[in-house]
């Protein structure tokens, strides 16, 4: 019995020691963001240069497949956070903010916040935009001979059964609903997306899958599908890797932004170093480096001049005026209703 108590005592000591070790090594920060190619490129473009410039700080990148999982991890670690900095989708960051998981974010954290585009600063979210991405048209260059310039190519009967659309509740579907609504003459998506839904009803019979897996880029690159929609940054990277099979177009009607925000975790163990990293991540240099590497549009207005023309042309940075202003926090209010309309009106037409 005493043996057991003793063992418990030892493990408790070990536990507190490890806590102490964490506190002592405050120059080690944990950054959590998307795993996969995002991690690969972000580490190369931002994390490594930061560590080079700050030899006393090490950044550990903890990748997770999606924002929801990041939120789940934050929730689970609420009483003793292990993560310092988080990059996630703005809508999810709103939920995290509401639950008190993010520390307040203002110019005291980073002076660069003043230089961010207005879209990168979202009222009610304790995090600021670190990347802009936008919806693009994807096509297989073998199957689609004429380079499409308009979203309308998706409706083309010659691609019947060959269209790949990530449907709602995925936000690619939500963004596409708003774009369709605008194309159909809708004026205020917050009031009604009925026109857009009607247009999507016409698209439905063309659709091969509403749930491309593992993502939308692979089936189009491989020719399983001919045409579809996806995010620009990943599409550009996969296009580079696809031997020219994957074509990417920002259609003339314009598009909508997806925003990844960077936030400081409430009660983060390495708060000061973490702030230092956030400041670096928002700097024009880091922004430019990552855009060059992965074609996310920069959120810092001062970054654009630092980016080579070839890279900037493959982002929406040059055509900010074509972008539909989407307030994701507002859209969250109509998201359930959009989902319901897809499920009742759009998807059934594609069976």
Partner 1 sequence: MTTEALAPPRKMRSGEVAVLLLLPIALINAIGFILPVLNLARFSFNKVSIGGGIENVFTWENWLGLLADRFYLELIFNSVWISLAITLTTLILSYPIALYLHRSSGPWRTFLTVLVISPLLTSAVVRTYGWIAILIDDGPVVSAIRALGLPAPSLMFNIKGVFIGLTEILMPYMILALMAGFGRLDPRVEEAARTLGATPARTFRKVILPLTLPGIALGCLLCFVLAVSSFITPKLMGGGRVFLLATEIYDQAIVTLNWPLASTLSILVLIVFGAALWAYSAVLRRLD
Residues that bind partner 1 (CB under 8 A): 1-3, 66, 68-69, 71, 75, 91-92, 94-99, 161, 167, 169-170, 207-211, 213, 224, 329, 332-333, 335-336, 339-340, 343-344, 347, 350-351
Query: Which residue number, 89 or 292, has a Cβ lying nearer to partner 1?
Result: 89
Q: Quote the tokens at residue 88.
A: 């996630």
We find the least distance from the C-beta atom of residue 305 to partner 1, in angstroms, to be 35
Query: Which residue number, 45 or 197, has a Cβ lying nearer to partner 1?
Result: 197
Using an 8 Å Cβ cutoff, are 319 and 299 in contact? no
Q: Quote the tokens at residue 131.
A: 């990347």
Using an 8 Å Cβ cutoff, are 309 and 328 in contact? no
CA 44 to chain centre: 18
We find the least distance from the C-beta atom of residue 101 to partner 1, in angstroms, to be 9
We find the least distance from the C-beta atom of residue 350 to partner 1, in angstroms, to be 6
We find the least distance from the C-beta atom of residue 133 to partner 1, in angstroms, to be 17
DSSP 82-136: ---EEEEEHHHHHHHHHTT-B---STTT-GGGGGB-GGGB-TT-SEEEEEEEEEE
Query: Which residue number, 29 or 226, has a Cβ lying nearer to partner 1?
Result: 226
Cβ neighbours of residue 337 under 8 Å, at least 6 residues apart? none
Specify the length of the chain in residues. Answer: 351
Query: Which residue number, 103 or 303, has a Cβ lying nearer to partner 1?
Result: 103
Query: Which residue number, 256 or 284, has a Cβ lying nearer to partner 1?
Result: 256
**In 3D, which of 239, 261, 290 has the Cα closest to residue 122?**
261
We find the least distance from the C-beta atom of residue 70 to partner 1, in angstroms, to be 11
We find the least distance from the C-beta atom of residue 239 to partner 1, in angstroms, to be 22
* Residue 253: Cβ-neighbour burial (10 angstroms; 0-12, 13-18, 19+): middle
Q: Classify residue 300 by its DSSP letter.
A: B
Query: Which residue number, 97 or 287, has a Cβ lying nearer to partner 1?
Result: 97
Query: Which residue number, 169 or 244, has a Cβ lying nearer to partner 1?
Result: 169
Q: Quote the tokens at residue 276.
A: 């230092």
Map tokens 């890797």 to a residue.
241
We find the least distance from the C-beta atom of residue 91 to partner 1, in angstroms, to be 6
Query: Which residue number, 252 or 340, has a Cβ lying nearer to partner 1?
Result: 340
- Give exposure, 262-295, as e/b (b: 16+ Cβ within 10 Å): bbbbbebbbbebbbbbbbbbbbbebbbbbbbbbb
We find the least distance from the C-beta atom of residue 151 to partner 1, in angstroms, to be 19
**In 3D, which of 293, 277, 344 has the Cα closest to residue 84?**
277
Q: Classify residue 175 by its DSSP letter.
A: H
- In three-state secondary structure terms, 20 is helix
């Amino acid at each position: 019995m005493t043996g057991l108590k003793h063992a418990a005592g030892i493990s408790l000591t070990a536990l507190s020691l490890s806590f102490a070790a964490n506190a002592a090594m405050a120059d080690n920060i944990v950054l959590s963001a998307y795993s996969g190619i995002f991690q690969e490129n972000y580490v190369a473009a931002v994390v490594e240069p930061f560590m080079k410039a700050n030899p006393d700080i090490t950044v550990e990148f903890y990748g997770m497949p999606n924002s929801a999982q990041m939120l789940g991890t934050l929730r689970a670690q609420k009483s003793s956070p292990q993560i310092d900095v988080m990059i996630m989708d703005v809508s999810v960051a709103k939920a995290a903010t509401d639950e008190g998981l993010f520390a307040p974010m203002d110019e005291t954290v980073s002076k660069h916040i003043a230089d961010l585009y207005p879209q990168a600063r979202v009222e009610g979210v304790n995090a600021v935009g670190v990347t802009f991405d936008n919806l693009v048209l994807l096509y297989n260059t073998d199957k689609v001979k004429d380079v499409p310039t308009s979203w309308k190519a998706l409706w083309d009967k010659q691609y019947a059964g060959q269209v790949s659309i990530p449907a709602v509740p995925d936000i690619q579907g939500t963004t596409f609903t708003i774009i369709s609504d605008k194309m159909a003459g809708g004026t205020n998506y917050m009031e009604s997306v009925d026109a857009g839904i009607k247009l999507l009803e016409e698209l439905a019979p063309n659709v091969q899958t509403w749930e491309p897996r593992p993502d939308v880029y692979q089936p189009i690159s491989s020719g399983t599908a001919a045409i579809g929609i996806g995010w620009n940054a990943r599409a550009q990277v996969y296009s580079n890797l696809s031997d020219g099979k994957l074509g990417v177009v920002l259609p003339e009607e314009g598009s909508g932004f997806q925003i990844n925000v960077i936030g400081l975790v409430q009660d983060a163990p390495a708060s000061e170093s973490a702030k230092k990293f956030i400041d670096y991540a928002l700097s024009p240099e880091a922004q430019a480096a990552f855009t060059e590497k992965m074609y996310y549009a920069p959120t810092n207005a001062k970054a654009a001049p630092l980016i080579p023309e070839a890279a900037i042309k493959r982002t929406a940075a040059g055509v900010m005026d074509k972008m539909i202003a989407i307030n994701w926090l507002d859209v969250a209010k109509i998201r359930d209703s959009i989902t319901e309309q897809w499920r009742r009106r759009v998807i059934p037409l594609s069976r």
